[in-house]
Chains A and B, each alone.
Chain A
Amino acid sequence: MKIEELRKGEYSFGNGQGNPDGMQLVFEVGPQGAETILNIKEKFQGWPGVSHGGIVATALDEAMGHAVTGATNVYSMSVELEVFYLAPVPTGQDLKLLGRVDAIDERKVSTSGEIRQIQDGMLLARSRGLYITVKGRQEELGK
């Protein structure tokens, strides 16, 4: 399923289709993980032509969070996020962004993520994450 079908119009910076200033990521989500084509806009640069490290972290956080939703059918919140920067992540290029679930321990979900070049599969960044699942409607989470 495309999880954005459930969340269309949200204001989330990462995947909200109603946030024109956000990343507007749209993931293919399933029990094994989440993936999308990532193309980071120039306005999210750290250096010219290079994505800001924090935006790379944001993309990986989104991919891993969506993977958690795909595996558990509930939403989650980030508890820990670890990112390894292996090579510059370019702006304005199509890249492959993946998130997967590695282990589930009751409400704790361990994940990993990666960003690769499409042409040659070169690994640009990888991540590990820990998420806590949250039952209930997402609109209630911020209250």
Chain B
Amino acid sequence: MSVDYICVGANAMSLVNGPENQKGLKLELNYNGDGTALAETSVPKRFLGWPNVVHGGILATLLEEVMAYAASGGKNAEQALSLEQDVSFFAPMEPDARLSLSAKVVARQGAQVNTQAEARRKSDLTLVASAHGVYWLQGENA
């Protein structure tokens, strides 16, 4: 099985951005070309933690995906293996409201890439959560 085949399969059913995952988050990622990845989404109610609050793990999931995409240089987030993720939560985020995500590469040494990211409520730019991530690139991104 080639790496490319694995990535195609992952894209199709990925929880975060897989088009064939009917219960997924269907996040659309964009890459600025300057090492910054951006995304915007609304989290459905099925991903709540406390009543009317998006689960912290789901925020971690979204931040993870956008950091991996930044680490891969906007090529293929599935080729950036997660090594570490550190998330700080600052404010509760309600479901079905627009959430803006951004991530950038802050350091790279060989195949190891360090990133940071944040999630903000789009309506008032409240900082909901921030994160640091460490990724290991493989395949064409290494």
Show the binding face of A for B, using Cβ within 8 Å: 11-14, 16, 19, 21-22, 42-48, 52-55, 57-59, 61-62, 77-85, 138-139, 141-143
Complex: A139 Cα to B51 Cα, angstroms: 6
Count residues of B near A (Cβ-Cβ below 8 Å): 42
- Please name the residue on chain A nearest to B22 by beta carbon: A43
Complex: A45 Cα to B13 Cα, angstroms: 7
Complex: A16 Cα to B63 Cα, angstroms: 23
Contacting residues, chain A, for B71 (C-beta < 8 A):
none
Complex: A22 Cα to B50 Cα, angstroms: 13
Interface centre among A12, A45, A46 (most CB of B within 10 A): A46
Contacting residues, chain B, for A19 (C-beta < 8 A):
46, 48
List 18 A–B pairs whose Cβ atoms lie within 8 Å, in order of A's numbering.
A11-B48, A14-B57, A16-B48, A43-B23, A46-B16, A47-B6, A52-B16, A57-B61, A57-B64, A58-B58, A77-B89, A80-B89, A81-B89, A141-B53, A142-B51, A142-B52, A142-B53, A143-B52
Contacts A46-B16, A54-B64, A58-B58 known; 6 new A-B pairs at CB < 8 A: A46-B15, A52-B61, A54-B62, A61-B55, A61-B56, A142-B51
Encoded as 1 (CB less than 8 Å from any A CB) or 0, chain B from 73 to 93 comes to 000001001111111110010
Complex: A11 Cα to B55 Cα, angstroms: 11
* Inter-chain contact A83/B50, CB cutoff 8 Å: no
Complex: A83 Cα to B14 Cα, angstroms: 20
Complex: A42 Cα to B62 Cα, angstroms: 18
| Of the residues A13, A59, A81, A85, contact of B87 by C-beta under 8 Å | A81
Q: Beyond A42-B13, A58-B58, is A77–B50 a contact (Cβ under 8 Å)?
A: yes
Show the binding face of B for A, using Cβ within 8 Å: 6, 9-10, 13-16, 21, 23-24, 45-53, 55-58, 60-65, 68, 78, 81-89, 92, 94
* Inter-chain contact B60/A57, CB cutoff 8 Å: yes
Q: Shortest distance in angstroms between B23's beta carbon and chain A's nearest beta carbon?
A: 5
Task: Give the top 4 A-B pairs by smallest Cβ distance, nearest first.
Answer: A54-B61, A58-B57, A142-B52, A142-B51
Q: Shortest distance in angstroms between B22's beta carbon and chain A's nearest beta carbon?
A: 8
Contacting residues, chain A, for B65 (C-beta < 8 A):
54
Q: Shortest distance in angstroms between B1's beta carbon and chain A's nearest beta carbon?
A: 9
Chain A interface main SS type: mixed
* Inter-chain contact B83/A84, CB cutoff 8 Å: yes
Contacting residues, chain B, for A44 (C-beta < 8 A):
15
| Of the residues A12, A57, A83, contact of B49 by C-beta under 8 Å | A12
| Of the residues B81, B85, B94, contact of A57 by C-beta under 8 Å | B85
* Inter-chain contact B47/A54, CB cutoff 8 Å: no
